[in-house]
Chains A and B, each alone.
Chain A
Amino acid sequence: MSLTLVIGNKNYSSWSLRPWIAMKAANIPFKEVLIPLYLPGSKEQILSHSPGGKVPILIDGDQPVWESLSILEYLAEKFPDAKLWPSDARARSHARSVSTEMHAGFVPLRNHCTMNLWLPPKPRPETHTPEVMENLARIETIWGDCVKRYGGPFLFGKTYGNADAMYAPVVARFHNYGLPVNAVTRAYMDAVMALPAWREWYDAAMKETWIMQHNEPDWPLVRGRAVTAPV
């Protein structure tokens, strides 16, 4: 039985990116269904796949699995060879702590620096609020600690896994909003952005045409150009 992953717009849907990049990086085959968000009928389309009404949704046979984190747990169980969680119990518990911390936390960063891959990358100091800078400091501590303990280039060693996938949207946020990151953080971001899976998602995002004004900090500039047509 093949897997189907229901996702939102690639340019904006940070939660969709997580299972998508984990599956691509691990070579897990799946069919992608993309539902552009916040258009007439979007909500109904999503609800037809899952009662939570949110993307991403993984469908395996007749069982829908929703929420990025539980999808990653499901994939880790179903594809043990992909090593999405570290095989060592102690490292695995660490990976789950940092993944769940991301899942429920870092609200200021998520609100001020919404994921927007086509946003021209540059420092955007108006988004670097004290709360965002606190989030940055905590994430740099987490990443620095992981890379040091497990040797990098990814958080838990050589394999790009679930914890990395949970933080993939953060890499984009740091990059596009030009947060002042340290060298270890930058090296980790570069390792993630060099993945063919990252490139594939990014290239597809660049081809999208749906614009969400509330996620465009330079509005009425989008991708560096004035938007003239109503959206």
Chain B
Amino acid sequence: MLTLVIGNKNYSSWSLRPWIAMTAAGIPFEERLVPFETPEFRLEAGPAAKVPLLIDGDIRIWESLAILEYLAETFPAARLWPADAAARAHARAIASEMHAGFTGLRGHLPVNFARKVMKRPLTPQAAADVARIEAMWAQCRARFGGPFLFGTAFGAADAMYAPVVSRFVTYAVDVSRETRAYMDAVIALPAWTQWRDAAVKEPWLFAEDEVDWPQVHRA
């Protein structure tokens, strides 16, 4: 049985990625949630002191993208990467682009499921990131037919961008109808609802992720 160590669901964008990929694909796992800034977190968070962490027997895999690669290899039937080599190269390119990039967006619009949906004006860097992401999603859905980025299966590339969907929703980012259609497909997943429902019930508050601090807006 696999164990996935994650951080707080409300704030941990990186934890959401393997969690939603596994849940959407029906890969069974035990979830171990360790809240940030607790002794438990320091004990459980693995070699790089970061979550998420996947534990398979005595193998420990850290970094969301490395976990997705491991899952794709271990569960080929889940089709986390597209079967076609060119499509797979495309999927890995945008997954890597997300993994190391879009710092303007990530810094300005932190994941915060429980925040009341309210518009936050974009910085120029965040706006440039949004434009690039919208172009990328539209290109994928046009090329592979949607509703997800690489066709009918929610895969590793979608999982990498799941936190972006949440950011766009929470901060009421102005997006094209095409982008909205993709977001709606992701939000309609039972796995999404399951994560969000758990996230909004959490008691922990982190000032650095509350952009309205010292105010905290809740729905």
Contacts and interface: CB of A to CB of B under 8 A. Distances in A.
Query: What class of interface size applies to chain B in its complex with A?
Result: 20 to 34
Given A51-B136, A66-B97, A77 B63 contact: no
A140 interface: no
Main secondary structure of the interface of B (DSSP, over half): helix
B61 interface: yes
Contacts of A73: 69, 92
B66 A96 contact: yes
A150 interface: no
Interface of A: 51-52, 60, 63-70, 73-74, 77-78, 89-90, 92-94, 96-97, 99-101, 103-104, 138, 141, 145
B48 A93 contact: no
11 contacts: A51-B136, A65-B90, A69-B92, A70-B95, A93-B66, A93-B70, A97-B48, A100-B63, A100-B65, A104-B99, A145-B47
B83 interface: no
Nearest to A141: B47
Contacts of A78: 85
Given A65-B89, A66-B93, A70-B92, A100 B70 contact: no
A96 B62 CA distance: 9
Contacts of B70: 93, 96
A100 B93 contact: no
Interface of B: 47-48, 59, 61-66, 69-70, 73, 85-86, 88-90, 92-93, 95-97, 99-100, 132, 135-136, 139
A60 B89 CA distance: 10
B93 A104 contact: no
Nearest to B86: A63
Contacts of A77: 85, 88
Given A51-B136, A70-B89, A97 B61 contact: yes
B96 A67 contact: yes
B99 A63 contact: no
A65 B96 CA distance: 11
A70 B93 contact: yes
Contacts of A65: 89-90, 92-93
Contacts of B135: 51
A132 to B, nearest CB: 17
A104 B65 CA distance: 10
Contact of B99 (A64, A100, A141): A100
